């Protein structure tokens, strides 16, 4: 029991920190993950048991009492569900409720429960996606290994149902790279997740999700020239704040100040936010000096 209490506290702190800093979502921490083929060595993290009750408790603190009570009401109904059909319906309701308040961890567990009952491609894909999101939302916590392992399970089942689906392959590739970055799942050799993502872009050179993630991994392994090409591919199809931010960071590291400033300015224009804009202005000021 004491161990579970520690985990809940850790996840609460991580989620609260994530929500607080969400406006500066694109900030880079190069040593936290690995890139294309040059992994950053990290000590393997232990895999502990993380349950839906733990992440739900943390999520309720993050969303506040009013929304929390709505979720709790559905949870009570689920606990007293008279049959499997009613239980499944309430699990779907809870998954959507958590999605609506941007809490991927509890949503992931409910989507996973749905997928285990229905065994449909869409359910497994959704569950895997939310576990990958949960992994990103709780950087450097004890929960990460559990989230990444669940993501892999979900995407593996999705790939079994649709072996040629590139969305499933991309999600699985990202999960494998995340697992490798924690020092678990693969002892040596090129990260199989990166190899999967490279295979996706060989089949679909303009694949947005695969290129975006390969770009992030390239930044984190300091392969900035590769990162630039990945983010330019993404932006040519679907410009977004994160891609412009990573592109700007890559240009900055390559010493291309003019290009970095231009990318930062476009990043700033995508989604105006006072705290984020202030940080971007500081980066631009540094480059101009």
Q: Is 240 exposed, middle or buried (0-12, 13-18, 19+ CB in 10 A)?
A: middle
CATH architecture, domain 2-226 = Alpha Horseshoe (1.25)
Cα separation, 238 vs 219, whole angstroms: 19
> What separation in angstroms does the CA of 10 have from each of 16, 48, 57?
10, 13, 12
CA dihedral 243, 260, 217, 39 (to 10 degrees): -170
Which stretches of the chain are DSSP H helices?
2-20, 52-63, 65-79, 84-100, 104-118, 121-137, 144-161, 166-181, 192-203, 208-220, 224-237, 241-253, 257-270, 274-288
DSSP state of 197: H
pLDDT band at residue 271 using 50, 70 and 90 as cut-offs: confident
Residue 188, pLDDT score: 66
The predicted pLDDT at position 19 comes to: 35
The whole model's pTM is what? 0.80
Residues of the chain with CATH 1.25.40.10: 2-226
* Residue 230 and residue 260 in contact, taking contact as beta carbons nearer than 8 Å: no
Check pLDDT > 60 for residue 147.
Answer: yes
- Asked whether residue 137 carries a pLDDT value surpassing 70, the answer given is yes
């Amino acid at each position: 029991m004491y161990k579970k209490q520690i985990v809940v506290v850790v996840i609460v702190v991580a989620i609260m920190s994530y929500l607080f800093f969400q406006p500066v979502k694109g900030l880079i921490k190069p040593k936290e993950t690995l890139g294309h083929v040059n992994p950053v060595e990290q000590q393997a993290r232990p895999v502990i048991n993380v349950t839906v009750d733990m992440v739900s408790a943390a999520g309720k603190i993050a969303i506040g009492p009013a929304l929390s009570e709505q979720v709790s009401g559905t949870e009570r109904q689920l606990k007293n569900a008279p049959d499997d059909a009613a239980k499944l319906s309430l699990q779907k309701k809870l998954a959507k409720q958590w999605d609506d308040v941007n809490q991927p961890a509890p949503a992931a567990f409910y989507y996973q429960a749905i997928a285990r009952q229905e065994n449909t491609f869409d359910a497994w894909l959704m569950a895997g996606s939310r576990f990958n999101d949960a992994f990103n939302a709780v950087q450097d916590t004890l929960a990460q290994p559990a989230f990444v392992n669940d993501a892999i399970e979900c995407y593996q089942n999705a790939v079994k149902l649709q072996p040629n689906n590139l969305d499933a392959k991309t999600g699985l590739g990202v999960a494998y790279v995340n697992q490798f970055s924690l020092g678990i799942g693969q002892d040596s050799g090129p990260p199989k997740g990166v190899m999967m993502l490279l295979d996706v872009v060989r089949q679909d050179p303009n694949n947005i999700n695969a290129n975006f993630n390969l770009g992030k991994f390239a930044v984190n392994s300091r392969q900035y020239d590769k990162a630039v090409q990945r983010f330019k591919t993404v932006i040519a199809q679907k410009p977004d704040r994160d891609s412009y931010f990573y592109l700007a960071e890559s240009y900055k590291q390559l010493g291309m100040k003019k290009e970095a400033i231009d990318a930062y300015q476009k990043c700033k224009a995508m989604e105006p936010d006072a705290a984020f804009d202030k940080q971007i202005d500081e980066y631009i000021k540094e480059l101009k000096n």
